[in-house]
Structure 1
Amino acid sequence: MTKAMMIAPDHPAEAAPLLRREFTLDPGHGPVDSAILRTSAQGVIEAWVNGIPSSDELLAPGWTSYEWRVRLVEHDVTTAVAERTVVALRLGNGWYRGWLGFTGQRAVYGDERAGYAELEIRFADGHVQRVGTDESWRAGTGEVLADDLYNGETIDARLRDRSWQRPGFDDAQWDAVHAVDVDPGRLVPRTSPPVRRLGERAVERVWTSPSGRTLVDFGQNLVGFVRVRVSGPAGSEIVLRHAEVLEGDELGTRPLRRAEATDRFVLSGGDDVFEPTLTFHGFRYAEVTGWPGELDPEALTAVVVGSDIRPTGTFACSDALLNQLHSNVVWGMKGNFLSVPTDCPQRDERLGWTGDLAVFAPTAAFLGDVEGFLADWLIDAELERQATPLRTVPVVVPNVMKHLETGFPEPGATAVWGDAAVWVPWALWTAYGHEQTLRDAYPLMTAHVRSVEAALAPDGAWDSGFQFGDWLDPDAPADDPGKSKAPAEVVATASAYRSAGLVAGAAAVLGAESDAAEFRALRDRIGVGFRTRYVHDGRVESDSATVYALAIVFGILDDADVQRAGDRLAELVREAGHRISTGFAGTPFILDALTSTGHLDDAYALLLQREVPSWLYPVTMGATTIWERWDSMLPDGSVNPGEMTSFNHYAFGAVADWMHRSIGGIAPLDPGYRRILVAPQPGGGLTWAEASLETPHGRAAVRWDADPELRLRVEVPAGVEAVLRLPGRADETLASGIHHR
């Protein structure tokens, strides 16, 4: 019996370490019934058994709150083992040791990459042989000379030699290894989907820039890397730089800040294939230098990388721009759901900002089966919360901020950002209906709301402490994205009301009646404080679109004020020419606020606006993902001058939730779609729309056509009923099956 341990080379180099162990199967036990390889790392790890990859995963074991848990990845490698067997590992820096955050720091979790492997072999007679990482292993280096998630990877194909992965290789000149002190209790089974290659994109265009650079367009802003097939003189180097946009007809790298996003490939002199699998980039364009001869577009392929989340929801309609907007939302989620839900995938940041996810979770839960992915992230959110000085939800999870020299102290309880602790698990409960997911997140949910309660003024308003407010209000200065029209304390108090109410609902679901009563009372106290302090004669303080949207959708207003607030919101929307006037806090809710108060035409006009700022303005500018700013690219084609400018940020893509429910017509009436609301609300000149969703009970689908009169086709999963609700008609209950109306 062996007990595996984390190991690292005695004399580490900057090149990616290789670790190997060769052994013989225990004799006399018959054939091998099964062989399971379990791996983990401080960093990222790739594994082979007798030269055969243990899986098709990338960047395993992924990013978690390493201080408390590191994922243990398990794969069946039965077909790879033989009488003589080699387990071979390659280690990358990953999030553990690479550059991380936006302050120019690296190795924030530790200086030493280390790998873990245990191969458990079961024989026909029941005998078990285990071979694990220990101090008998040997360490070397290979063709990967440098690797970093932000800066890219350097591969020298002259050093490529696969023989180290197979029996018979002489590793006598390799380095010794040593054990790394890691608490075995930190190694936890993986519950989140792995990162994999999700698809490929061919080159759409190759051209020469004004400065003479060779540029390549893959036609889609994506996350991954470029696979290169090339032949050329040994020792010659090809360099690929990546970016999301062009600026001045050159590669637009300024928004990347410190991230170099550069891969370097040194040729062997033969036919080479390069795949920089220890890094990833957010890009649509690449600049290629050093190519031998004329660049053949077929030599380059963009490999799309992300967490392997099963798609579940679809949407399409008669408006091509809306379809492109929805595609942009899908691609934004695909690129940013990579191991953790990040804000952006390209610059020197790529952090798990809680506010982005708080508003996007309902959209995500329609588009894909994200329950395991987000439930796993919520585990880290609770671990990180417990570690903050005030026991409050941090603004990023995993909370790398505590390791960075940011000048940004932990802010304590925050609205919207901290509310991810409540809004995300509630979105999962609503979408999937699994009580255990809600129960697992319940300590985090209650802790957040109690931390908010402690920050409230005596009258129930939340008017103290740091707040992001209505972040990225389009009227905010480029260098001051938090300067919004909506006062931070109004946004915070409204958000506190919503969170208290949702936690009361969660407590009721879980049978915690005393908690339910406590949080209902807190919700009511906050509501009184909000209405007393911020609502006067039906007007909400600051008289801006965001404050009305939140007050209406969160249900804070007295009945007599709801319609007045909705009417005033519609007036503001019209006064703005149906251009967006909201930021992170207000944008996800404004269409629902308009719709619920009888202003569907204004909701559609806002959605279909093409002038900046609007959802469709980026589409008219060629966007293929959701932008961070409404004007990340200015109408003249230049990039927004703000330092913080990403072209792949999913937060404003939360509008797709309204599109799914109000245009497509699919919404849950009960958690997990045990009952379904079919309530499309045609408008905006659309002549047809369709949506589908793989619910926990099967496929639900709606298709409507409005030319010349409204016709519907509704598909209801087995064992489920739907309520059909159409304008001007009485509700109708639909049984399982296909219905035409």
Structure 2
Amino acid sequence: MISKLRLFFVFITCFIAVHASSQTKVTDLVCEYMHNPIGIDIEKPRLSWKLISDKHNISQKAYEIKVAYSEKDLKANKNLLWHSGKVESSASIHVQYQGQPIPSFKKVYWTVRVWDNKGKLSSWSEPSTWETGVMDDEQWNRASWISVHDEGKITTSLPSQYYRYDFNIEKKVKQARVYITSLGTYKLFLNGSKVSDYIFGPGWTSYHKRLQYQTYDVTEMLDKDNAVGVMLGDGWYRGRMGWQNDRAYYGDRLGLLFMMHLRFSDGSEKWITSNKDWKWSYGPIIWSDHYDGECYDLNKELTGWNLADYNDGEWHKVELLDVTKDNLVANVNELPKIIKELKPIDVFTSPKGELIADLGQNIVGNIRLKVKGLPGDTIIMKYAEVLDNDGNFYTANLRSAKATDYLILNDESEVVYEPNFTFHGFRYVHLQGLRNPLSKDDLTGLAIHSPMRETGHFECSDSLLNRLQKNIEWGQRDNFLDVPTDCPQRDERLGWTGDAQVFSMTAAYNFDVATFYTKWLKDLAADQLVDGRVPVVIPDVVSKLKGSAAWADAVIIVPWTMYRVYGDIRILEEQYDSMVKWVEYMARKAGKSYLWKNDFHWGDWLAFTSTRSDYPGATTEKDLIANSYFRYSSMLLSKIASIIGKHEDSRKWAELSENVKSAFIKEFVTPNGRLVSHTQTAYLLALSFDMLPDTLKPKAANYLAQDVEKFKHLTTGFVGTPLLCNVLSDIGRDDLAFMLLIRKEYPSWLYPVTKGATTIWERWNCILPDGSFHLMGMNSFNHYAYGAIGEWMYSYIGGIKSNSEYPAYKYFTLSPHVGGGLTYAKGELITMYGKILSSWNITNGIFNYEIEIPCNTSAKVVLPNAQVADVLIDNKALENNKSLDFKAEGKNVIIELGSGKYKIQYKYNN
């Protein structure tokens, strides 16, 4: 009897386990791309989730969402703010909240369940949350902008400002939130502790039009007696900006705006706000600047200044500042923070006798230094990306940026110091003023950038290509510091639109950049001129430079990338007017001829040049580039207008696009398909942007291939390079694409790798073959634009390719391309729906292919050089599998697959 009972329980346990494992589950709930966000100001936020299952071909057929103010009400199905009911839909991303309006400072809970295509209903997901910020601008009237006395016209960096305020709490706090922003860069403390690891708040925006505030949960940081402390530095607001030594671009006076909302257990509330009763003082930060560094004097240390028992009798009363609050917006993207810490790989003395620490990686950020000395000692920390040919510290390429920190000691005790309001682009640190030997344990490199979840992974059998991929990733990390900067080290560090445009798809393979670009695009629209021109940098601090083709087209191409990768229709809607203004500007300039001529353009920036007298370089006519982008952007705008329901607009932009194409053919194309600029970039634009009649495309493709074969290297600059390998593969010349990719000599992607690069260079030849440097005036060793080759590595070698007709990888292509002597490649991508895997290797003539397709998606799988009779899928012959849709097409086999994991094998017919 006992034995039978035991068998019964084993049977029940197994039945439950099998049933549970086969059930579709709902996981990874996000609101506006974020997990449990607080302080958002979006009235109808969008909700997304993922499905997971261990079965094949799982998709969603319906969903149901519930939203409530408490988890208890959610589970009890009471007092719901929104109950969607059962909605017949496969949508599992960007489902817009349709419930009751949610006022300021409210936290809500939500859960979702789904019905799958097998007829099974999932369990309710674990509840997730979002919390509103300041939904009514009038709420800011509780607080006042505060500042120090008027410091006059700013011509140099002044001491950082310290603010403090004491308050008492007599009740038990249930919830506490801080809402804060500043003119300048802030650091926030509560009772002596940093409130957050975030750095450089409130971030860099077009401050007069859009000033972000941040929300922090400080519930667990409060006591009976409390003190708020805030440090302010010049930052982007008042610091040095651009290469013309401009300072205080946005204003001469720093300022602070602060609100703390307290909810007590008895249901009552209290506000702590910035007002005339706050106090301020200068402190140990004598000056700070993003370009020049920071000077910190320990003799002026304000010990305990942010604690409640601090004696602030000698501090000054603040002044109220008359500054608008109408431009305040909630933070969209997370602020930068220290993401990674690196120890030096070497500490050495250069031939000039300089003490240098080598981090082994070019990073952006600061250092943390442990040091001891005597009172009055000044420790000097200088930063550089490279050493010169003799092994000495090299900073000429920083131009006027001093990139130097100073620490002034006050006694003989050990000090741990890291800068507060500056950052540097560097691999090497030159230290002066040390009395004791420097060990590797005394110094730590602090890599700082905007927090971006890693979504992509690429690797292959070529170690140099793997290093190239790492260089691309590091270049993105280092330059995605709240805005997509061109370079992080010299007196520039600006959000160049052209760089962001050409790199946007590669960026979205490597990292989740949805909120990063969402924030930046809002500033692009804000800084766009009334006539439609787009500044070359965003936020705009170089007001004379606007409207360059390929740069300004970021206004359309970056939102289009966001749509392709994340299925984000709202960003198309929100940026649409901005897109229209730019296309209308080009149309006005072109007039009835539909040819846009003689305007300001950067052209194919930093294309290959030569010192040979016959100049076999690559100069592509700027008007040809401009009209190519005119065609492309108007064509994309037509598609975008259709997607957001503006069908009449769509027809108008389509007609404009075709007229531009016709004018382009007459002006720039010979009857035999030759372009007036006989360069790689010209043909890449013509082929990629559909600038040619179908009859001439093969001839143009042949001209492109001949040019690559003639030079045996690329000749492209910022405009042509991102298109190069993509177009070569699309015209059937993988051989040339791989030849260019694996080339090690200058000019090539791997040439910098052979020179020890750990990031992407600005030029193809930042370091010349003889080891000397190119022109020091513009020679960055950390510029991400040429890293746009990463898109081809993911989408062609890895084979993971999006489909704009089914955005967010709802339906996509897996089509690996083999070449370059590679025997193995692996691409991974975390999408809005889940993980895509495409991993192949060729062993003993057998192509082994492992793939993964997320639930609620499907894919077209293209097997290169395959025959149907040879293909095994999960150890079963493909030709005998009647449930799969497949066909032979040329040398390839194409299979349509639903979600799940698959292993494919076949004889590779090279």
TM bin (shorter chain): over 0.9
Supply the distance in 1 between the matched residues of 2:299 and 2:442 (Cα, whole angstroms).
Answer: 19
Matching of residue 434 in structure 1 with residue 568 in structure 2: yes
Q: 2:164 aligns with which of 20, 23, 34?
A: 20
Q: 1:267 aligns with which of 400, 405, 409?
A: 409
Q: 2:620 aligns with which of 486, 498, 512?
A: 486
Q: 1:548 aligns with which of 672, 679, 683?
A: 683
Contact 1:50 1:85 in 2 (8 A): yes
1:675 alignment counterpart: 811
Matching of residue 184 in structure 1 with residue 347 in structure 2: no
- The 3-state SS of whatever aligns with 1:470 is coil
- The 3-state SS of whatever aligns with 1:710 is strand
Which letter maps to 1:560?
A: T
1:405 alignment counterpart: none
Matching of residue 721 in structure 1 with residue 858 in structure 2: yes
Contact 1:333 1:650 in 2 (8 A): yes
- The 3-state SS of whatever aligns with 2:454 is coil
Contact 2:618 2:679 in 1 (8 A): no
Q: 1:538 aligns with which of 673, 690, 702?
A: 673
Task: Please give the per-residue CA displacement for 1:464-488, whole angstroms capped at 9, x wherever unaligned.
Answer: 211111111121789xxxx951100
Which letter maps to 1:173?
A: E
Which letter maps to 1:605?
A: M
2:448 alignment counterpart: 305
Q: CA deviation at 1:142?
A: 1.9
Structure 1, 510-519 or 116-125: larger mean CA deviation? 116-125
Q: CA deviation at 1:250?
A: 1.6
Contact 1:11 1:175 in 2 (8 A): no
Q: 1:688 aligns with which of 804, 824, 829?
A: 824
Supply the distance in 2 between the matched residues of 1:158 and 1:136 (Cα, whole angstroms).
Answer: 27
Matching of residue 737 in structure 1 with residue 900 in structure 2: yes
Task: Please give the per-residue CA displacement for 1:68-95, whole angstroms capped at 9, x wherever unaligned.
Answer: 1111011001111122111110001100
- The 3-state SS of whatever aligns with 2:687 is helix
Distance 1:677 1:162, change over 3 A: farther
Structure 1, 310-319 or 390-399: larger mean CA deviation? 390-399
Supply the distance in 1 between the matched residues of 2:814 and 2:747 (Cα, whole angstroms).
Answer: 31
Matching of residue 197 in structure 1 with residue 338 in structure 2: yes
2:347 alignment counterpart: 206
Q: CA deviation at 1:559?
A: 1.3
Q: CA deviation at 1:151?
A: 0.4
- The 3-state SS of whatever aligns with 1:636 is coil
Matching of residue 252 in structure 1 with residue 394 in structure 2: yes
Within 5 Å, which residues of 2 pair with 1:221-370? Answer: 221-247=362-388, 248-268=390-410, 269-370=412-513
2:732 alignment counterpart: 598
Q: CA deviation at 1:716?
A: 0.5
- The 3-state SS of whatever aligns with 2:316 is coil
Contact 1:456 1:464 in 2 (8 A): no
Distance 1:457 1:448, change over 3 A: same
Supply the distance in 1 between the matched residues of 2:452 and 2:303 (Cα, whole angstroms).
Answer: 32
- The 3-state SS of whatever aligns with 1:731 is strand
Q: TM-score, normalised by structure 1?
A: 0.96
2:846 alignment counterpart: 709
Task: Please give the per-residue CA displacement for 1:677-719, whole angstroms capped at 9, x wherever unaligned.
Answer: 1011111110000000000000001100023232200000011
Distance 1:476 1:426, change over 3 A: farther
5+ residue gaps, structure 1, are 403-408
1:96 alignment counterpart: 237
Q: CA deviation at 1:287?
A: 0.6
2:127 alignment counterpart: none
Supply the distance in 1 between the matched residues of 2:775 and 2:604 (Cα, whole angstroms).
Answer: 20
Supply the distance in 1 between the matched residues of 2:752 and 2:838 (Cα, whole angstroms).
Answer: 28
Supply the distance in 2 between the matched residues of 1:380 and 1:161 (Cα, whole angstroms).
Answer: 37
Supply the distance in 2 between the matched residues of 1:144 and 1:183 (Cα, whole angstroms).
Answer: 28
Q: CA deviation at 1:517?
A: 0.3
Contact 2:165 2:227 in 1 (8 A): yes
Larger Rg: 2
Q: 2:548 aligns with which of 414, 424, 437?
A: 414
Supply the distance in 1 between the matched residues of 2:219 and 2:676 (Cα, whole angstroms).
Answer: 66
Structure 1, 310-319 or 640-649: larger mean CA deviation? 640-649
Supply the distance in 1 between the matched residues of 2:530 and 2:570 (Cα, whole angstroms).
Answer: 29
- The 3-state SS of whatever aligns with 1:643 is helix
Q: TM-score, normalised by structure 2?
A: 0.78
Within 5 Å, which residues of 2 pair with 1:615-634? Answer: 615-634=749-768
Matching of residue 87 in structure 1 with residue 224 in structure 2: no
1:585 alignment counterpart: 719
Supply the distance in 1 between the matched residues of 2:536 and 2:610 (Cα, whole angstroms).
Answer: 21
Supply the distance in 2 between the matched residues of 1:496 and 1:642 (Cα, whole angstroms).
Answer: 34
Contact 2:150 2:253 in 1 (8 A): no
Q: 2:711 aligns with which of 576, 580, 583?
A: 576
Matching of residue 8 in structure 1 with residue 147 in structure 2: yes
Aligned length: 724
- The 3-state SS of whatever aligns with 1:603 is helix
- The 3-state SS of whatever aligns with 1:79 is helix
Task: Please give the per-residue CA displacement for 1:226-259, whole angstroms capped at 9, x wherever unaligned.
Answer: 1101122122111110011112422111110010
Supply the distance in 2 between the matched residues of 1:738 and 1:337 (Cα, whole angstroms).
Answer: 34
Task: Please give the per-residue CA displacement for 1:146-168, whole angstroms capped at 9, x wherever unaligned.
Answer: 11100001112233344111112
Supply the distance in 2 between the matched residues of 1:410 and 1:16 (Cα, whole angstroms).
Answer: 32
Which letter maps to 1:197?
A: I
- The 3-state SS of whatever aligns with 1:34 is strand
Q: CA deviation at 1:726?
A: 2.6
Supply the distance in 1 between the matched residues of 2:711 and 2:591 (Cα, whole angstroms).
Answer: 34
Matching of residue 462 in structure 1 with residue 596 in structure 2: yes
- The 3-state SS of whatever aligns with 2:637 is helix
Structure 1, 631-640 or 418-427: larger mean CA deviation? 631-640
Q: CA deviation at 1:442?
A: 1.3
Task: Please give the per-residue CA displacement for 1:138-188, whole angstroms capped at 9, x wherever unaligned.
Answer: 001222121110000111223334411111211111112111121111221
Contact 1:562 1:597 in 2 (8 A): no
Structure 1, 158-167 or 89-98: larger mean CA deviation? 158-167
Q: CA deviation at 1:642?
A: 4.9
Q: 2:540 aligns with which of 388, 396, 399?
A: 399
Supply the distance in 2 between the matched residues of 1:389 and 1:443 (Cα, whole angstroms).
Answer: 11
Structure 1, 466-475 or 726-735: larger mean CA deviation? 726-735
Matching of residue 423 in structure 1 with residue 564 in structure 2: no
- The 3-state SS of whatever aligns with 2:578 is helix
Supply the distance in 2 between the matched residues of 1:266 and 1:131 (Cα, whole angstroms).
Answer: 36
Supply the distance in 2 between the matched residues of 1:143 and 1:476 (Cα, whole angstroms).
Answer: 52
Supply the distance in 1 between the matched residues of 2:644 and 2:838 (Cα, whole angstroms).
Answer: 32
Supply the distance in 1 between the matched residues of 2:863 and 2:696 (Cα, whole angstroms).
Answer: 26
Contact 1:721 1:736 in 2 (8 A): yes
Q: 1:658 aligns with which of 792, 800, 813?
A: 792
RMSD value, Cα: 1.5
